[in-house]
Amino acid sequence: MITIFTPTYNRMSTLPRLYESICKQTDKNFEWLIIDDGSTDETKVLFDSWKKIKTNFPLRYYRVDNGGKARAINKALELAKGKYFFIVDSDDYITDDCIESLNKWFDEIKDHEKIIGVSGIRGTYTGKYINKKPDIDSLTGHIDASNIERDKLNLSDDMAEAFYTEKLRNYTFTVWETEKFLPEAVVWDRIALDGYKLRWYDKIIYHCEYMEGGLTRSSWKLLKENPMGYAQMFNMKLNYITGFKEQIQIIIQLISCVCLAGNLRYLLSSNKLPMTMLLFPVGYILSVKRRFQFYRILNLKNI
């Protein structure tokens, strides 16, 4: 059985579309687990109404204090009853045969100990690739690769991953007390560094909205409010990025984030400590620049 996990916060307007797509699944071997991250809209009323409707799948709804998606994932992993764990965001929806495909794919990898999960592709609402077709073998329809091998295979877009629940429980999200966001790549990279791969399939099973552009206003807001989460991400990358110039760029970003958070002690855990100490002045200057960018882009009253 698959646990479809949906973290949600004030998404009453988009949840019905997801609910309809879940009800249409051709394979009913799943449960739908929802963690309401402290919504202030009528999300609870919506789920209360759905729970009164007889469905062919279990629907479990839990409300928690607002703590962000990473904490919600940790909670969901504690509660999940499915053998497999599949995250579907509350403003997206899945294809009618999504669960059927995932169950079929998991059956194909059951004898592969170092494959921790499977993934289809996230496509646009119109069913197209977000950027371009990934480099997946057209004969087999899939490729085995770790998270840190994705870029070279044109798998850099958000994908639709599902994991063995028990194995994923070994990789909980470490979230800083004052922050609510941690880039998921921190956990996916840890999994990759432990030698695990996923089997990536060339099939769109998940639809999401794609926003054009680079670092959007919301992304700047995430960076401002969660600098240590991003610091963890950059520090993790230093475990496998080998190019000298790339390492320098990452270290500067790491230092900047730590300076923004006021947590300089974290630099002692840098995976490239000598270079980090050497580049500290540059990273500090970038943190000052970031504060002015926050002021300009987010229209803050002070910096």
**Residue 160 contacts residue 89 (beta carbons within 8 Å):** no
**Host domain of residue 71:** 2-207
Last residue of some domain: 207, 234, 267?
A: 207
What pTM was estimated for this model as a whole?
0.92
| pLDDT score for 301 | 53
> Residue 212: inside a domain, yes or no?
no
My answer on whether 222 and 199 are in the same domain is: no
* pLDDT profile of the chain (303 residues), mean per 10: 96 95 96 96 94 90 95 97 97 96 97 96 86 80 92 82 97 92 94 97 88 59 95 97 96 98 96 97 97 82 50
My answer on whether 143 and 251 are in the same domain is: no
My answer on whether 186 and 239 are in the same domain is: no
> Residue 159: inside a domain, yes or no?
yes
Contacts with 276 (C-beta within 8 Å, 6 or more apart), sequence order: 251, 254, 255, 267, 270
> Residue 192: inside a domain, yes or no?
yes
Reported as a single tens digit per residue, the pLDDT across 18-53 is 999 999 999 999 999 999 999 999 999 999 999 888
Reported as a single tens digit per residue, the pLDDT across 237-279 is 999 999 999 999 999 999 999 999 999 999 999 999 999 999 9
Contacts with 35 (C-beta within 8 Å, 6 or more apart), sequence order: 5, 6, 7, 8, 62, 63, 64, 72, 75, 76
My answer on whether 199 and 238 are in the same domain is: no
| pLDDT score for 47 | 94
Q: What is the CATH number of the domain that holds 138?
A: 3.90.550.10
Last residue of some domain: 187, 207, 227?
A: 207
My answer on whether 192 and 285 are in the same domain is: no
Count of domains for the chain: 2
My answer on whether 21 and 115 are in the same domain is: yes
Residue 121, strand partner residues: 159, 204
**Token duo for residue 14:** 């988009």
* Chain centre to alpha carbon of residue 123: 16
My answer on whether 40 and 84 are in the same domain is: yes
**Residue 38 contacts residue 9 (beta carbons within 8 Å):** yes
Last residue of some domain: 139, 172, 207?
A: 207
My answer on whether 193 and 52 are in the same domain is: yes
My answer on whether 203 and 222 are in the same domain is: no
> Residue 291: inside a domain, yes or no?
yes
- Cα distances from 182 to residues 185, 230, 232, in angstroms, run 8, 7, 8
My answer on whether 35 and 111 are in the same domain is: yes
